[in-house]
Chain A
């Protein structure tokens, strides 16, 4: 019942009493758990003689063990104010039983602490009555009060430590085991691997489009131009067509360089990210302000991913957002490289769109995160965070 009250009142007297009450209830639940463990142990030993009952015993143990664990979970979160405890349902019966057995320790210690407190209260009563009756000198009274205060303080500290132990046990024994942690990580890696393959495929498709719809058309047109020049009947016309063909070759070369650059920014071989982005900024249709503050040059892959994120964000800002200024901020904080691309455009960027979702997958492949905030009406902020050593 105390749990319900605990939810409603958080400050004041109850706030201070919550912890000792929680530990006291913990003694009672430990007693219940001791009984449960004794019954379960008995049932399991009987099981050896009646194998048919074994499944039923296991099921019952799981069900009641689960109830007890959920009860402890409630006590810990509401009375002992334990934040982010692992959910009580995600644990195997074996680990539940192990946790309940381990709980006997804080239960016993709590009993001990309250027993000592009880003795202290009795002793304090004796000292008090003696003082009232005038059987103690002032000096004796003061020394007794001092000793009592120290012992009370120690007791309070002990109760707090028991509460901490209780929480730590739950966190340790009910949290994901190393196996569950590995499973989670494998799942995460499988997902990000599939994501990377999809992102690479999408990029290849884009390159194919760039080559076929851009460069190939240009070369075919150039071929036609030269064909017309060869078939032209007078010298002036031939000359004019050849001049135009020559100009078109220059344009085809430029286009080829752009396609190659979109495939991989080879400038990253020699320059760092800030310098390469400065080159990109110079060619951008919108003014771009870049601040790049990296004390150590990051890995090549990290630089490449950040480069592509920045380019996509710049392109989007220029093409769709009607922005007038884009700022790119790159820095390091708490072992993370953070890049923030902010524009003052009209917003409405779609994080699930092809370009941004492909980038999110690439960022995820390096254990990073990509956050896009772009409310309709703007502004748009793209935040990429990648871990660095």
Chain B
């Protein structure tokens, strides 16, 4: 009998901050007052903010308790599909906190920012090598902003060629943010269906592609975890009609050292440093979403850019065709430090990362198929997609099963996405999970499937071991209470 990691233990209740403390407490020391108090202009003076007043021990206990209600990668396996929740190396937190980085003002003169600029410049070159692209901008603050940057580049490119275009092709296996990013640029998303094998066929792209279409946004490997085998042919079709190929690189963890997107027809690609390059996700951010482009799109990259001359680095905005700025400064620098350190710690072994990520996913696919319905029975890349089809007869849903998985100590996979699979369960183990952990995860899922037959009610009530049980999201949205 497998002992699963999930167990119950004592957790603490903790009220919101404003139900704690007392007037007169303060959890911070203030610097000594060494200048006289000066009255602020009455016309603009306000009241003190309505904040709670607490002592340092209260603050520490409050946040310690809150943290204990959270599940992180450090707590257990977190197989969220398309999110690449791999281990985040501890050393990198220390490097990003070095005083010379953490306390550096972004508008310090270039001559006094050399180390930071070098971190950026080198990271750009490393990412260009990994993706086979020619130029990189680290400015986008997250994947979706990287997508927006990509769309803006494509828009600027067509405008420069005096050919404004109105539409963009987005396959049903692309990431969820893609249509919204395209819409921000005024493009009408043209949906294209994947074929019976879960990938795009060149014919359907040829049919959708015309001279009003700016290009295609393709996720490769796609959200079914499948490599778009016809990508080169698709790129040719798009290019022949004057369009450009955007690749959502959120799934790059599958193909580092295996495929270089710049060599298979992709014109612009974004990466998620907080996925593939091991920077922590922070409970929802900050991340970083660099964009990598081929030569013909380089003039349009956001400014400022880091330029190197004879070993010294400077920021330059002297790029007249640039789309402009996307970030208050240069992007999420401290995330760049972590990603840079990750790449240097791996070197060419990054290929091993992708191999093991794909190994883990295929292993799960093989061992769970039969227990769960496998949407597309083909060799997968770094993630595999199942559904709740086999459990339907017990009136048990994807949601019921994954909530029960929590009781066994595993974070649920991504669910109900991609939309092409009804009741999708998208599992991405990443390379940092050991065989033992993966075996326990598989065992847990199999146990859940047995429970679906024998005790379906128990699943519908799951999870039972968490601090709170299932929450009523419908009434939360109907009567929103968004602050205390």
Asked if A pairs with B, the answer is no
